[in-house]
A = this chain, B = another copy of it.
Amino acid sequence: MSEPHLLPLLDAPPPERRDAARNRERLLGAAKELVERDGAHAVTMDAVATAAGVGKGTLFRRFESREGLMAAVLNHSESEWQAQVMSGPPPLGPGAEPWDRLLVFGRTRLETTLLHAELIREAGRSGARASGAYSFAATHVRYLLSQLRVSGDIPLLAVAILAPLELPILEQVSLDGFPVDRFYDGWVDLARRVVGRSA
C-alpha cells in the first residue's frame, strides 16, 4: 500500500525497454537498406523482419503498419533538409531576407519531395502525419510570411503556398506534362502574388 515515491511530471511517455529499442534500430536499419536496394515499392514486411532477424509481430508493434514504417524511413531522410532550414547556412537557413529564404525554401522543398517521391507515396497518409514533414514546412512558411508582414489569414496562405509542392499535386500536374523548371517558375509567381510583391 505504499504510495509511489515520484510523481511523473506531466505524465511522461513510458520509456522503451532495452530490447525494444535495439529491435527498433535493427528494423529501421534493415528497412532503409532494403528501400535503397530494391525501391520502396518492392519492400515487404516479411523481408524487413527477416533481414532484421526479428519476428513480424515485433515489426508491426514498433511501426504500426507498413505505412508507418515507410514514414519512419522518410522522416529520417528528410531530417537533414529540416536541419538545413532551421540552422544551416543562408539563404536557406537563418540570416537572409525572408523573401529570399522563401524562394530557396520552395525550390529545395520541391527537390526534396521529388527525391523522396516513392517513399512519400508508400507512406500514404502517415507520410504527412506521423512524419512531421508537412507540419514542419507549414510552420516555417507561416513564420516567413509573418516576417514578410503579409496581411490576411497567414496559416491558410501558408497552406496555399505549400499545396502545389505536395506530391499528390505534383503527380497530377506532371501527368499533364509540365517540366519541373517551369513548375518552379510558376510557383515563384504564385508566391509573389500571395505575398503581394509586384516584380
Q: Which residues of A contact B (CB under 8 A)?
A: 125, 128-129, 134-135, 138, 152-153, 155-157, 159-160, 163-164, 166, 168-169, 171-173, 175-176, 178, 182-183, 185-187, 189-190, 193-194, 196
Contact = CB atoms under 8 A, between A and B. Distances in A.
Nearest to A125: B171
B189 A156 contact: yes
A82 B139 CA distance: 36
A102 to B, nearest CB: 15
A163 B169 contact: yes
Contacts of A164: 159-160, 163
A189 B153 contact: yes
Contact of A153 (B125, B175, B182): B182
Number of this chain's copies in the assembly equals 2
Contacts of A135: 176
Q: Is the interface of A mostly helix, strand, loop or mixed?
A: helix
A153 B160 CA distance: 17
Contacts of A152: 189
Contacts of A157: 186, 189-190
B193 A153 contact: no
Contacts of A160: 160, 163-164, 186-187, 190
A196 to B, nearest CB: 7
A152 B138 CA distance: 26
A183 B155 contact: no
A171 B134 CA distance: 11
